[in-house]
Amino acid sequence: MDSPQTKKSGLNLPAGMNETSLKLDFSGSFRTISNLSSPSSRSSTCSDRFIPCRSSSRLHTFELIEKESPVKEGGNEAYNRLLKSELFGADFVSVSSPAGKGSPMSPSKNMLRFKTDHSPGPNSPYSPSILGHDNGFSSETSTPPKLPRKVPKTPHKVLDAPSLQDDFYLNLVDWSSQNVLAVGLGTCVYLWTASNSKVTKLCDLGPSDSVCSVQWTREGSYISIGTTLGQVQVWDGAQCKRVRTFGGHQTRAGVLAWNSRILSSGSRDRNILQHDLRVSSDFIGKLVGHKSEVCGLKWSHDDRELASGGNDNQLLVWNLHSQQPILKLTEHTAAVKAIAWSPHQSGLLASGGGTADRCIRFWNTANGHQLNSVDTGSQVCNLAWSKNVNELVSTHGYSQNQIMVWKYPSMAKVATLTGHSLRVLYLATSPDGQTIVTGAGDETLRFWNIFPSMKAPAPVKDTSLWSLGRTHIR
């Protein structure tokens, strides 16, 4: 007959240990210990093997929890899940053991540690509502949106330009491909070499005439000058020697444009004349279409089309084979001086209107359709595309006198620059495409680094600290 102690506990206890000193707490789950009271197990001792508790193992962090088995017929799974949620919280329900395999596990203090939050709030920049996980993007592989490029807010150089006219219809500044800046000041034209800041006086037209426009050839060797008397002169920039004088205009020639071989001039007499240095006559063609002064003129990069803007609010497009415009664009409501052809897309033309219009408009010259229109809030004086990136710069007059950099085609503002006290009437771009120079009736020329280089599209370095001193161009 078994002793009372053995019958009561069914365990072989070491000497000095009674049943009250041994307490086993299996709060996480029920486990049965079989055959402990059999005679064959009397010689065995209690094992110290550790049985881990699933509630503290954090297997859900690594997605190792097995999927729940199908609910048996007659089981009350909904009630069990609701009960677990009320007792241990909603997070515990997703990691609890499958039904029918044990009692609910007690929550661990480390349950929420190191867990990736896969359900960010609506204000998170990586929220599925913003990036959309349905499109294959996850919050763990997403990158923050690219920050806008930084553009220095101050000019890195300022030149005094006494007698620089405050006249919307003139074009007195141009930058050659050989890095020489030409500026018309009163009756004179001055050349400023950017590499060494050397200033050279090219010519003086005398007391009876004055400079209305300047334009370099694409090679940068020759410069054309339009005068108040209607002459168009061509000078050798290196030798400071006049090569040719063209007549034909009745009054001032306020705008000039070169293609590879032809020089076009626009005048207050409403005509556009085509000049050729290889021909002895004053002009080889006359384009008649504007009803007021011609103030904007630009050849396309492939030399096939010429765009002209006038004080009659018209933007006309011409080709080499017709004496009549192939396009008449009349959406502007003010004078069209600002004209620029895109170097990135064939047939894309930008134009800007004066004080009553204030809009930059984009055109497809293949079909004459207007692609976009943006109200800038100010008179548009000049436009220029960047050859390095798909952006453009505009200069403005009434009422804010600002310079604006735009990203195309979104027309998002990259930068707004201020500094001139009067209308920013003149604009030219450096040969490397990174710097622009602006001129105004405040008799200053300001140099701005606004575009990245073509090879390294990194943010432009702000060099405004070392050269804010003002120098003179004459």
How far apart are alpha carbons 231 and 205 in whole angstroms? 11
Query: Which residue has tokens 């090679």?
Result: 219
Least confident of 70-84, 89-103, 119-133: 119-133
Least confident of 7-16, 209-218, 436-445: 7-16
Tens digit of pLDDT for each residue in 42-63?
A: 444 555 666 666 655 555 555 5
Question: Residue 55: helix, strand or coil by DSSP?
Answer: helix
Contact 198, 190 (CB under 8 A): no
Residue of 396, 375, 395, 367 whose CA lies nearest to 333 = 375
Tens digit of pLDDT for each residue in 340-399?
A: 999 999 999 999 999 999 999 999 999 999 999 999 999 999 999 999 999 999 999 988
Q: Who contacts 304 (Cβ-Cβ below 8 Å, separation ≥6)? A: 319, 320
Tens digit of pLDDT for each residue in 423-434?
A: 999 999 999 999
- pTM of structure: 0.68
Neighbours of 241 (CB within 10 A): 10
Task: Give the start-end residues of each E strand in 228-347.
Answer: 232-236, 241-246, 253-258, 262-267, 271-276, 285-288, 294-299, 305-310, 315-319, 327-329, 336-341
